[in-house]
Chain A
């Protein structure tokens, strides 16, 4: 006879009858009644067990037993009257490395079919010696989210309907996605691109009462993003995303609606639809997309990066599964690449260690650093989304779902149990992510603004490959085995940083062979997808380092890069000291930490890049090919008129009026400046932007710059 789960009351009655008829001795099922009668605690018996039902999980908590080395959690399916309807099973093993506060042990039991009723008992073990079980605590678990009688709430995915026997197919995804789109004013589903095999890449854009109408408007709300499924054979997070989209679309929860009224949630369920359908890690060409987010050889990653450029999420999670049995429930890791701005790294770490570890200890989920119990994973490749996004100034984390139950969840031989635990642990994480974002949006945006100014200033060394260290988290939480140090080796460090890279016509526009047949893209297209500023000069194309994604620029354009795109020519600074008197720029000039005592005039067709400079006198760049001024002090007016290419003004202090007028086809970037005087922008072909990094302007802000 075989059963694990019962939905039919008839079945439990039948079982009760069998039990009565066979008059089993008071073991197993009979013991349930016995424990209820225990009034006196036995020695070392676990006390005060409570259960709180979550979305697809149940949090058990109890009082710590002195001397316990671990705990076992037992679950028994029961009927409403408390009669056991199935076998008791050890479903969990609590170990001290699970949480940061061992004094208040918790365990998130998961894997059961939602909606069924169970009772739980907990017992301590001293070494291998089991102590008496606690008194049982019973509860009915939460059913699949949403009232079956309420339109929208009653939608279910294929995965939910089959109780985890099947994952949600592409066809079911489209129908479910379209249904949510149709039934909820809070949701707009945007097809941001197509896969190689022409599957739509959809994104849920969710806000309350309605999401902002355009990507630009979304960007203004400090949006957050979940990228659910890049590896086709790791589908657990994707199912959580579908459920979360439904929750956000149809919930009445005031706290959630409050959060959605202040931001926009972006959920990208299936960036790799072809791989999901094929059950392959890579896309249809076999390319691992999570080794392609910087190079963007593939249509899927290019689509993703363009979305980041346009929607500008400030925080993100990237969902995976991890085939290491001896690790936490939820390994996480921040962007570690050494070129990631310190504040982005710190804030990402705070999201993980400051928030997820703490909340995990409350709700019973075991979040831990990637690797967690030691593994050679989690390094600094900028091709991995975690790092790419960090280099794009996005606070973010990798999320792994441990593939198998492992020693701490011994009841996951059953595939459905295993799939449910993974998906509901991801759902917990993504909801916590939304809560964290709501609580820390000011800190995240401050870190992002600092990062954009830092990167644009082009200061400090460049690391081609290598990571920031992840410090060990205090024991017992398993920070004692953080990911490898991965410090950059000397040959991967560039101390003398150029101010730009110059590409030839062939390098920039030439046909390439990387990427799928018929879908190859040029360097020009890829840099545009990243949103980088490029100046057309007489003998090629100039990519200034002084821009918000500075840390990523050499990783694609330097000949020394570990996985570069093209070997551009390093353009060294042309002036680093002091220049007395007027400075007239023709051709290309790059001032790095220079002082100019006199007016600066950029001649028509010339390009000026100034990092960390000090200019005493007016600056005039009329008709220039490009004009970049970052981290500088200018005493005098700055006039930028009719520039053909990029205009970048970031993190400057200007005493005098600033005017950016009549720029041609590129949106001027005017961000994080302090202007003592007016800021005027008129006649620009595309209105200037500030990437949500405000300028401090003492005078009036005119016309196209009124909201900057």
Chain B
């Protein structure tokens, strides 16, 4: 299931100008929330007092913070797959989760640790053509890749480092060493913004794609001619 949209939610085919009145709830979400700059930034997904979540790493400065939509505190109560949608450097990883239906494995108990590579990391790893193939066709392969980025148990980065090594859902053992305030994983990926909290999950943004798929970025199909 690669759709973000449930079939039932789609409007029926129509060519007429006038239809039934809008669903009130949908319209309400669209209208600017005047005078409201709450912690959830209009996301409408969390309620109650703001949660303070401290994330660490050099990339955190570049991500939503303070009272901005998508700030770490606003994600704390959300299912992991939804929290991923708020971290703007994870659009590829997040799309991959949807493409592979991995959300089920990310949202259950006892929880998971997600080592989520940035969009830049994906771009450095896979050619655009290869990435499209993974997202659209080779979703089993992609699922395997993602499961090499997920560890059972919701572990703060400090606990990852203390453990020294962890095993992914795909069965790969990853060495973890301390690296400044974060961690270095499998001797190649560094956490660049660690310790996002989601419901039953920790999300650590990393700067390299893990797993064993070959690197295809920079190859023949990744040159300028695929632009525009």
Contacts and interface: CB of A to CB of B under 8 A. Distances in A.
A181 B11 CA distance: 14
Given A162-B86, A165-B64, 5 more contacts: A149-B34, A179-B30, A279-B95, A378-B228, A419-B88
Interface string A341-352: 000000000000
Contacts of B131: 280
B59 to A, nearest CB: 8
29 contacts: A148-B34, A155-B32, A157-B30, A161-B33, A161-B41, A163-B69, A165-B64, A165-B88, A175-B30, A178-B22, A178-B26, A179-B22, A191-B15, A197-B2, A198-B10, A199-B5, A233-B91, A233-B128, A277-B5, A278-B2, A280-B131, A281-B128, A281-B132, A281-B226, A320-B227, A370-B228, A376-B224, A377-B227, A416-B88
Contacts of A146: 32
A156 B32 contact: yes
B93 to A, nearest CB: 10
A174 interface: yes
A202 B17 CA distance: 12
Contact of A200 (B4, B11, B60): B11
Interface in B5-57: 5, 7, 9-11, 13-15, 17, 19, 21-23, 26-27, 29-34, 37, 41-43
Given A162-B69, A175-B22, A197-B3, A188 B17 contact: yes
A482 B214 CA distance: 35
Interface in B189-228: 223-228
Given A154-B31, A370-B228, A190 B15 contact: yes
Given A178-B11, A178-B22, A165 B227 contact: no
Contact of B91 (A11, A162, A279, A376): A279
Interface stretch (A1-9, A26-34, A35-43, A546-554): A1-9
Given A191-B13, A377-B224, A165 B2 contact: no
A172 B11 CA distance: 12
A416 B69 CA distance: 10
A544 B67 CA distance: 64
A378 B61 CA distance: 36
Q: For chain B, which range describes its interface: under 10, 10 to 19, 20 to 34, or 35 or more residues?
A: 35 or more
A170 B69 contact: no
Given A148-B34, A277-B4, A7 B67 contact: yes
Interface of B: 2-5, 7, 9-11, 13-15, 17, 19, 21-23, 26-27, 29-34, 37, 41-43, 60-70, 85-86, 88-89, 91-92, 94-95, 98-99, 123, 128-129, 131-133, 135-137, 223-228
A182 B24 CA distance: 12
A398 interface: yes
B66 A286 contact: no
Contacts of B227: 320, 322-324, 375, 377, 400
A366 interface: no
Given A7-B67, A194-B13, A398-B228, A414 B62 contact: yes
A164 interface: yes
Dominant secondary structure at the B interface: loop
A674 to B, nearest CB: 39
B94 to A, nearest CB: 8
B152 to A, nearest CB: 27
A278 B19 contact: no
A414 B224 CA distance: 25
Contact of A161 (B7, B42, B67, B225): B42
A191 B14 contact: yes
Contacts of A278: 2, 95, 98-99, 135-136
A646 to B, nearest CB: 28
A3 B65 contact: yes
A398 B228 CA distance: 8
Nearest to B135: A280
Contacts of A384: 228
Closest 3 CB pairs of A and B: A279-B95, A165-B70, A415-B88
Contacts of B26: 175, 178-179
Contacts of A179: 22, 26-27, 30
